[in-house]
Homo-oligomer: A and B are copies of this chain.
Amino acid sequence: MKAVSGLSSIASLPDLDTLSLAEQVAQMVVVRASGYLFDHQIQYPDWEPPAATLQHWLQDLGVGGVILLGGSAGELALRSHQLQTWAKIPLLIAADIEEGVGQRFSGATWFPPPMALSAIAHQDPSQAQQYAEQMGSVTAAEALAVGINWVLAPVVDVNNNPDNPVINVRAFGETPHEVSQLATAFIRGAQRYPVLTTAKHFPGHGDTAVDSHLELPVLPHSAERLAEVELPPFAAAIQAGVDGVMSAHLLIPAWDAERPATLSQRILTGELRQQLGFEGLIVTDALVMGAIANRYGAQEAPVMAVEAGADILLMPVAPAEAIQAVCEAVAQGRITPERIRASVERIWQAKLKVFSTPKAQSTDPTNLPDHLAQPTALTTAADIMRQAQFVQGVVPLPPEPSGSTHLLRNLIVIDDSLSCDFLGKQAPAIALPQQQGYQLHLLDRHTSLTAGEDAAGIFSPTLLQIFMRGNPFRGSAGLTPMAEDWFKKLLKTGELQALIIYGSPYLLQQFLPELPPELPCIFSYGQMPAAQAIALDLLWN
């Protein structure tokens, strides 16, 4: 049968010596694609190629890997199977599943963001490490089940700047020690399965206040400070056997005043390869990101990254042109053939790891239900959420007096109601208050209802639920003032019955000083339905 022969054939790698230079360079390229099965479902046409183009890249050019976004876990299992059958050479299939496969692909287990583990570690470090290890293990097992063999995690950045718009709760903590402890536990867990892990973003993206998706941030610290704060988690991850290290699009003047880490030989080769002794895959962060694409161009950036020491060019702006540009740089003597060969040998090592064990060949999509969202995995995720949850005030809520004519209000503030996969009408944040007689009001950046425009004169005890991640002051411009206005208005009128924040501990810190200590206030790192159910259970249990 096709399915089965397709799956078993992906275990065989061709002899490296049979590859042309262009084929070798193509193996260094990982392209972005939609996780959905059909072209008409493509969400980001600028970045995600249609099937015909993708098939050409995999079949004819022999591109080395694909990074996937979009689709459910079930669709992804079919999609990764499809891509492997297209590929000339077995593919690395990667995904940004920092919070488990369920973070990106519905149906699989979705853990709260890593910083939840840091909150637990403050009370019980060994428990937190155990959770981190389970999180790594479940993530790797489920990745394998859907055909992902490259986990782009853990984040080992130290989030010591609360203004950080891009790392934030994605970090395992705010000190090098806790990040090292938890991230290596995650790696240990993942190593139970034949998938690759990746420490990111070298040399550390935790202390920036600029999002490199948009611009090039600068890390203005001395080499000594880097060695003290940023580097230890990378050293620990390398020591723990991490398979890949992803570069950051950051300028670090202490090491290289001109080139961002992704394109800097002094940093990737000098610091990471030589000083830290990393022998695994050096992978760039996405080359389409503004910090690189806008400055260096579609052909020069890949060449510079290879010169710098990268083995994998992630999401180049134009894959075919990138391959050609690198080949030309070899022809011109700017890059040696040995440099290419060394990278491809590392890629071969990685592919041998993921394709040569029996476990790696067990991804028959029809077996999927036996491998994802198993009870122990869901329980671990729920335990982490419950244990990391912050609760203040008197819970449960007192029952509404019988005969009360109050209009109970469930006021939800989210960034974008149209792109919110954790908040359907059956989600606990909506369904549970509804069962209690609360009426839903929804505010997002497309509804301009401000606190002053509320129907006047009616006293409405209000449950305020705010879903906000990242830095609330930069990442979600416009939303925080709206949440803040409502928070203050409801406090003033006495209508604020309870406050639940899902996501940002920094928003909690902003609101907490103004709250009467008896007023129920809950903070959860998670935003998914399970997190909502756990938080709301406290109010009406």
Complex partner residue of A426 from B1, B43, B444, CB under 8 angstroms: B43
Task: Give every chain B residue within 8 A of A530 (Cβ-Cβ).
Answer: 40
Name the segment of A66-74, A245-253, A266-274 touching the other chain: A66-74
* Contact call B446/A448, Cβ cutoff below 8 A: no
CB contacts under 8 Å to B, within A1-31, are 1-4, 6
Please give the count of copies of this chain that the complex contains: 2
* Contact call B41/A106, Cβ cutoff below 8 A: yes
A539 lies within 8 A of chain B by Cβ: no
A447 lies within 8 A of chain B by Cβ: yes
A495 lies within 8 A of chain B by Cβ: no
Flag A73-85 by CB within 8 Å of B: 1 or 0 each: 1110111011000
A257 lies within 8 A of chain B by Cβ: no
Complex partner residue of A417 from B36, B368, B418, B427, CB under 8 angstroms: B418
CA distance A140 to B48 in the complex (A): 30
Complex partner residue of A365 from B38, B51, B78, B446, CB under 8 angstroms: B78
Residue of B nearest to A3 (CB): B366
CA distance A266 to B419 in the complex (A): 51
Flag A437-477 by CB within 8 Å of B: 1 or 0 each: 00011111011110001010000000000000000000000
* Contact call A78/B369, Cβ cutoff below 8 A: yes
Task: Give every chain B residue within 8 A of A446 (Cβ-Cβ).
Answer: 440-442
A44 lies within 8 A of chain B by Cβ: yes
A481 lies within 8 A of chain B by Cβ: no
Q: How close is A469's CB to chain B, nearest CB, in angstroms?
A: 17
CA distance A487 to B398 in the complex (A): 44
CA distance A407 to B420 in the complex (A): 27
Task: Give every chain B residue within 8 A of A41 (Cβ-Cβ).
Answer: 106-107
* Contact call A75/B38, Cβ cutoff below 8 A: no
Complex partner residue of A448 from B365, B373, B441, CB under 8 angstroms: B441
Residue of B nearest to A77 (CB): B78
* Contact call B81/A373, Cβ cutoff below 8 A: no
Q: How close is A197's CB to chain B, nearest CB, in angstroms?
A: 25
A37 lies within 8 A of chain B by Cβ: yes
CA distance A442 to B447 in the complex (A): 6
Task: Give every chain B residue within 8 A of A73 (Cβ-Cβ).
Answer: 37
CA distance A426 to B44 in the complex (A): 8
A424 lies within 8 A of chain B by Cβ: yes
CA distance A395 to B40 in the complex (A): 26
Complex partner residue of A423 from B74, B369, B378, B418, CB under 8 angstroms: B418
A300 lies within 8 A of chain B by Cβ: no
Flag A363-382 by CB within 8 Å of B: 1 or 0 each: 01111110011000010000
A425 lies within 8 A of chain B by Cβ: yes
Residue of B nearest to A430 (CB): B418
Task: Give every chain B residue within 8 A of A485 (Cβ-Cβ).
Answer: none
Flag A22-66 by CB within 8 Å of B: 1 or 0 each: 000000000000001111110110000001000000000000000
Residue of B nearest to A423 (CB): B418
A416 lies within 8 A of chain B by Cβ: yes
Residue of B nearest to A530 (CB): B40
Q: How close is A9's CB to chain B, nearest CB, in angstroms?
A: 13
Task: Give every chain B residue within 8 A of A368 (Cβ-Cβ).
Answer: 37, 78
Task: Give every chain B residue within 8 A of A365 (Cβ-Cβ).
Answer: 78, 365-366
Residue of B nearest to A374 (CB): B38
* Contact call B449/A448, Cβ cutoff below 8 A: yes
* Contact call A418/B442, Cβ cutoff below 8 A: yes
CA distance A418 to B428 in the complex (A): 13
Task: Give every chain B residue within 8 A of A424 (Cβ-Cβ).
Answer: 43, 418-419
Task: Give every chain B residue within 8 A of A39 (Cβ-Cβ).
Answer: 373
* Contact call B37/A364, Cβ cutoff below 8 A: no
Complex partner residue of A366 from B71, B72, B81, CB under 8 angstroms: B81
Given contacts A418-B425, A418-B430, contact A40 B449 (CB under 8 A): no
CB contacts under 8 Å to B, within A479-522, are none
Greatest chain B CB density within 10 A among A38, A39, A364, A419 is at A38
Task: Give every chain B residue within 8 A of A417 (Cβ-Cβ).
Answer: 417-418, 442, 444
Residue of B nearest to A106 (CB): B41
Complex partner residue of A71 from B37, B72, B372, B455, CB under 8 angstroms: B72
Greatest chain B CB density within 10 A among A37, A372, A449, A530 is at A37
CA distance A2 to B423 in the complex (A): 36
CA distance A378 to B40 in the complex (A): 9
Residue of B nearest to A44 (CB): B426
* Contact call B447/A441, Cβ cutoff below 8 A: yes
* Contact call B442/A364, Cβ cutoff below 8 A: no
* Contact call B107/A37, Cβ cutoff below 8 A: yes
Q: How close is A407's CB to chain B, nearest CB, in angstroms?
A: 12
Task: Give every chain B residue within 8 A of A75 (Cβ-Cβ).
Answer: 72, 74-75, 107
Residue of B nearest to A378 (CB): B40
Given contacts A72-B71, A442-B446, contact A366 B78 (CB under 8 A): yes
* Contact call B443/A37, Cβ cutoff below 8 A: no
* Contact call B418/A36, Cβ cutoff below 8 A: no
Greatest chain B CB density within 10 A among A6, A81, A366, A367 is at A366
Task: Give every chain B residue within 8 A of A378 (Cβ-Cβ).
Answer: 40
What 3 A-B pairs have minimum CB-CB distances, sorted nearest first?
Answer: A74-B75, A442-B446, A3-B366
